[in-house]
């Protein structure tokens, strides 16, 4: 089995707010593991406890209870932190620095010598597509460019574990694809990537395993193919009909009937398929396709986050 990079057991974090110090539990009984070389997606709605968990992993705040280790060291530990790269959700960069100057500063903070800093900064600027903007002040960078330079600074120390908090937020489709491709490339180099997000299509494309958190509790964790139900949720039928052909009689036989460009699309339950197809053919419609739809990550996410809190998930090492 591959090396365990992150271990979280029974993590709790409680904050006190206001004059009366009202206590709010942000994370409750969270347990999971992340192993070397995998891409782990940490999913949850806003306010679920993702960022709090990541801040604890980074040593930026302390747990109320529980055990948190990175590379077998209790957090925070200098040896573990030296092997980490981190991009927070809302990073603050000195916006009068250029991209190259930011990477030089990050390299200094990582203890790199001048020659090594220059060499790594040049390679990383090329890698994240910012070589032409290296001398441009950060205040003139777009949102996507700031995300890319943020990832570059997280990689300046050649970390074995890269932690990214909402790296796709605010990016256009091109920017999201660039970040996805970079995450996959990091895995190919043997690095471990732990990132939080609520943009589910990106997770389905790149993650080996996912953990879903809601209201501070871990609802489920594991590989997607193990978490998704094999049950068919609905069946989609696409019909093609001659101009003027009335398909209205089909509406009572399906969940939903909607016209599309040159076709009509119907959503059906399993028991509706046979009578629906028989009626459609009798009306003179042509069946283009019949497609069963199984549970996807969005369905799983909605099912888990909408469910009432239960006992913590017990598949942290799955």
Q: Out of 23-27, 32-36, 66-70, pick the least confident.
A: 23-27
The answer, yes or no, to whether residue 90 has pLDDT greater than 90, is no
Per-residue model confidence (pLDDT) at position 198: 81
154 or 143, which is more confident: 154
pLDDT-based confidence at residue 314 (cuts at 50, 70, 90): very low
Which tokens in the block code for residue 212? 């879903």
Strands (DSSP E) contained in 18-142 are 22-35, 39-43, 65-70, 73-74, 84-87
How would residue 316 be classed by pLDDT, with cut points 50, 70 and 90? very low
The pair of three-digit structure tokens given for residue 52, joined into one six-digit string:
């709090």
- Angle between helix 114-127 and 143-155 (nearest 10): 140
- What's the pLDDT score for residue 175? 81
274-277 long-range Cβ contacts below 8 angstroms, 24+ apart: 276/237, 276/250, 277/237
CA atoms within a 13 Å half-sphere pointing along the CA-CB vector of 258? 6
Torsion of CA 152, 153, 158, 159, to 10 degrees: -110
pLDDT score, position 121: 96
Q: What Å distances lie between residue 235 and 201, 255, 303, CA to CA?
A: 21, 10, 19
**304 — pLDDT class (breaks 50, 70, 90):** confident
Q: pLDDT for 172-227, tens place per residue?
A: 888 888 889 999 999 999 999 999 988 888 898 899 999 999 999 999 999 988 88
Grade residue 309 by pLDDT with cuts at 50, 70 and 90: low
In contact, 202 and 176? CB cutoff 8 Å: yes
**Looking at the chain, how many residues does it have?**
318
Residue 133 class from Cβ within 10 Å (0-12 exposed, 13-18 middle, 19+ buried)? buried
pLDDT at residue 61, as a whole number: 93
Q: What is the DSSP string of 149-177?
A: HHHHHHHTT--SEEEEESTTTT--HHHHH
Q: What span, in angstroms and rounded, lies between the C-alpha atoms of 167 and 242?
A: 48
CA separation for the pair 5, 38 (Å, rounded): 10
Cα 124 vs. chain centroid, distance in angstroms? Answer: 23
Average pLDDT value over all residues in the chain: 89
Neighbours of 123 (CB within 10 A): 14
Given this model, what pLDDT does residue 1 score? 57
pTM of the predicted protein model: 0.83
What's residue 160's pLDDT?
96
Burial class of residue 252, CB neighbours in 10 A (0-12, 13-18, 19+): exposed
Residue 142: CA atoms inside 13 Å, Cβ hemisphere, count?
A: 9
Give the tens place of pLDDT for each residue, 111-127.
999 999 999 999 999 99
149 and 93 Cβ atoms separated by less than 8 Å: yes
Distance CA(11)–CA(218), nearest Å, equals 10
């Amino acid at each position: 089995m591959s090396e365990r990079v992150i271990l979280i057991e029974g993590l709790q974090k409680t904050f006190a707010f206001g004059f009366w110090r009202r206590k709010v539990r942000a994370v409750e009984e969270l347990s999971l593991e992340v192993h070397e070389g995998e891409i782990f997606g940490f999913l949850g709605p806003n306010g679920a406890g993702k960022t709090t968990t990541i801040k604890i992993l980074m040593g930026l705040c302390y747990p109320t209870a529980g055990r948190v280790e990175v590379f077998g060291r209790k957090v925070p530990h200098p040896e573990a932190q030296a092997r980490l790269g981190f991009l927070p959700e809302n990073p603050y960069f000195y916006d009068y620095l250029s991209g190259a100057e930011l990477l030089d500063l990050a390299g200094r903070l990582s203890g790199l010598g001048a020659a090594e800093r220059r060499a790594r900064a040049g390679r990383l600027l090329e890698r994240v597509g910012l070589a032409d903007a290296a001398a441009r002040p950060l205040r003139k960078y777009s949102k996507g460019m700031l995300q890319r330079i943020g990832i570059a600074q997280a990689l300046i120390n050649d970390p074995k574990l890269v932690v990214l908090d909402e790296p796709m937020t605010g990016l256009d489709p091109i920017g999201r694809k660039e970040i996805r491709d970079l995450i996959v490339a990091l895995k190919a180099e043997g690095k471990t990537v732990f990132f939080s997000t609520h943009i589910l299509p990106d997770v389905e494309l790149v993650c080996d395993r996912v953990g879903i958190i809601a209201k501070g509790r871990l609802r489920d964790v594991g590989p997607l193919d193990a978490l998704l139900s094999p049950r068919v949720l609905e069946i989609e039928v696409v019909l093609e009909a001659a101009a003027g052909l009335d398909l209205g009689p089909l509406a009572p036989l399906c969940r939903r009937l909607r016209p599309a460009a040159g076709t009509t699309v119907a959503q059906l339950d399993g028991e509706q398929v046979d009578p629906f197809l028989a009626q459609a053919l009798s009306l003179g419609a042509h069946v283009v396709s019949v497609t069963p739809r199984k549970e996807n990550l969005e369905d799983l996410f909605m099912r888990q986050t909408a469910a009432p809190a239960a006992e913590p998930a017990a598949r942290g090492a799955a």
